[in-house]
Amino acid sequence: MLTLEKLSKWMKFFNQIALSVIVGSVAIAIVWMLAIEAYGSFKHRHKNDPVTVKAPIASNTGSKSEITLHVGYVHKVGDLWLADILEPQDSYDTNVVYRSSSSITRNVVMSSVNTDKVRLLFNDYTNKLNSFETLPEEGSAKVIVCKYVKNFKNDIDEDLEKPSLLLLSIDGSKQKTIIEDVDRILKVEISGKDELHAIYFKDGKLVNSKFSIKDFSEISSPRIFDLKELNLESNIKGAT
């Protein structure tokens, strides 16, 4: 027999279920609204990021008077924070999320962790920056190496690019391009004497250059091995 006491217990039970359903529904609705807002913010983030500036860049049809730039990833190399300055290679579309893989790194903004100074690596946006790395690979970093392409034009085939090599001090206070427009950079490493060796191909010649990592000056004349003048037959006879 259903008594008043049992009826009261059942009412409390159903009230608790109803309250839980209401609270859960509200929580789900709030999460859903936040997710939609976050997605919308991310999807249209590129609308606020691009900045159009007047700057000459390399072009087959002449220098452009204006270029659209985009701030990309921020990463740390040595004692420097680097913010990539990118030139998008595709048009902005409200239905397309911006991707840095479809862009060219034209410059970087550098900021040392030890000072409040901020500056650009280059004074223009004519180059294409390919990579940054610290040397030596093991132990404390002594120098930053930047591989880039001078006066890069968008329609140049990647296999035909002529790379250059720039040395940058760990704190970003000093920089110097040590080799320019070579065919291929084979090896860059530091010896035990704090000397940097750069081995590369240029004009059919294998070149080994040596530089000081203190002032980035060339220590001695580069050793050049001309493949065109190589006499394999005489070398083989001399070795036997």
Residue 31 above 90 pLDDT? no
Residue 92 above 50 pLDDT? no
All residues at 6 or more sequence positions from 24 whose CB lies less than 8 Å from its CB, including other chains: none
Q: Give the pairing type, strands 118-120 and 184-190.
A: unpaired
Residue 114 above 50 pLDDT? yes
Which of 70, 98, 97 minimizes the C-alpha distance to 84? 70
Using 50, 70 and 90 to split pLDDT, how confident is the model at 150? very high
CB 166 within 8 A of CB 178: yes
Q: pLDDT at position 57, please?
A: 60
Using 50, 70 and 90 to split pLDDT, how confident is the model at 189? very high
* Residue range 17-38: mean pLDDT, rounded: 57
Q: pLDDT at position 37, please?
A: 58
Residue 88 above 90 pLDDT? no
Residue 30 above 60 pLDDT? no
Could you report the per-residue pLDDT of 32-43, keeping only the tens digit for each? 555 555 555 444
Residue 167 above 90 pLDDT? yes
CB 146 within 8 A of CB 129: yes
Predicted structure pTM score: 0.68
Q: pLDDT at position 194, please?
A: 86
